[in-house]
Amino acid sequence: MIAEIGINHEGDPDKAHRMVADAADAGVECVKFQTHVVEDEMIPNDVVPGNADEPIYAMMRRCALPASVERELKAHAEERGMVFLSTPFSRAAADRLAELDVAAYKIGSGECNNYPLVGHIAALGKPVILSTGMNDIASIRPAVDLLRAAGVGYALLHCTSLYPTPPEQVRLGALAELRAEFPDAVLGLSDHTTSIYPCLGAVPLGARVLERHFTSDATWPGPDIPVSSTPAEFAELVTGSRLIFAALGGTKEILAAEQPTIDFAYASVVTTAPIAAGDELTAANLWVKRPGTGEIRAAEYPTLLGRRAATDLPVDRQLSWNDLADV
């Protein structure tokens, strides 16, 4: 379970540290930031993202955290027993994270088909989590080829890069397509809806990495806040996803552990009237009733009709095979 803090701190280290603490309290296993070395990432521009009201260049300059703060956040996360990850958006950012000795790299959807950067990150020799929003199988495959060639473990996160994503455009069916095309990949979902339900629904479909944006306070400013979950929602997601995962698998068989329930819930064949030795067993003197502790279960009832009693039988007697005369 990845809590995507991203740039929800708006460049404020105190906010960032609060979110690390709140994510840990919610039971999250991993917190993820974004590493922006703006001069190596983009040229000055006035492009405004669809979920923002200012140019991306100005936003990143405001929200970029220095390496010293990232080091402190990594230490904080690890002190709380979590994995620290960050998404590098440039070579310089990837190299900075390498100096921090991160456990793995997260590559965002926008860089999925940035094969030069994917190759650079893969060459650093750590596992890679690759988001695949805005990409199809054809554009994902070259990135996967680079990861395989580098010999690094990798995960593919299905993603829809809409903020927020309408439920009908989540397309959880893509997980099966990714599994068929990349059977050696760990699969996951990077979700941008406004609820935790798609993440929960992705688990039985094969998702083993779940990522959502995280905020300590839903009233904070920031372009990703509307698609972010609170600590309480993340706690519910952690609990629910683990429960669903534990419930997966198995076959349709009778469990030995169900025996106590079988004993009271099944029905056994019983007499409904006194039966004398030699009398015929009929629907008038035989039926099925609980508990299921009798020797002859209800499923055998039709095969008993027309047979004869071997001995006198009182009413409400659970029938046994020894009570039947030989045919």
Q: Which pLDDT value is given to residue 240?
A: 98
State the average pLDDT for the chain.
Answer: 97
Each as own residue / partner, the long-range contacts of residues 136-143 (CB below 8 Å, 24 or more positions apart, any chain) are 137/177, 137/178, 137/181, 139/112, 139/113, 140/112, 140/178, 140/181, 140/182, 141/181, 142/113, 142/115, 143/107, 143/112, 143/113, 143/115, 143/118
> From start to end of 215-292, where are the E strands?
228-229, 268-271, 286-289
Q: Which pLDDT value is given to residue 112?
A: 98
pLDDT digits (tens, 9 = 90+) for 173-211: 999 999 999 999 999 999 999 999 999 999 999 999 999
pLDDT digits (tens, 9 = 90+) for 43-88: 999 999 888 888 999 999 999 999 999 999 999 999 999 999 999 9
Supply the pTM of this predicted model: 0.91
Q: Which pLDDT value is given to residue 93?
A: 98
Residue 128 clears pLDDT 80, i.e. is over it: yes
pLDDT digits (tens, 9 = 90+) for 145-180: 999 999 999 999 999 999 999 999 999 999 999 999
Residue 22 clears pLDDT 90, i.e. is over it: yes
pLDDT digits (tens, 9 = 90+) for 209-255: 999 999 999 999 999 999 999 999 999 999 999 999 999 999 999 99
Report, as an integer, the average pLDDT of 120-126: 98
User: What percent of the chain stands above pLDDT 70?
Assistant: 100
- Our measurement of the distance from residue 216's CA atom to the centroid of its chain's CA atoms, rounded to an integer in Å, reads 22
Alpha carbons 65 and 269: distance in angstroms, whole number: 75
Q: Which pLDDT value is given to residue 50?
A: 84
Q: Which pLDDT value is given to residue 88?
A: 98
Q: Which pLDDT value is given to residue 136?
A: 98
Report, as an integer, the average pLDDT of 121-130: 98
Residue 214 host element (H or E)? strand 209-214
- Count CB-CB contacts under 10 A for residue 214: 26
Residue 108 clears pLDDT 80, i.e. is over it: yes
Q: Which pLDDT value is given to residue 327?
A: 62
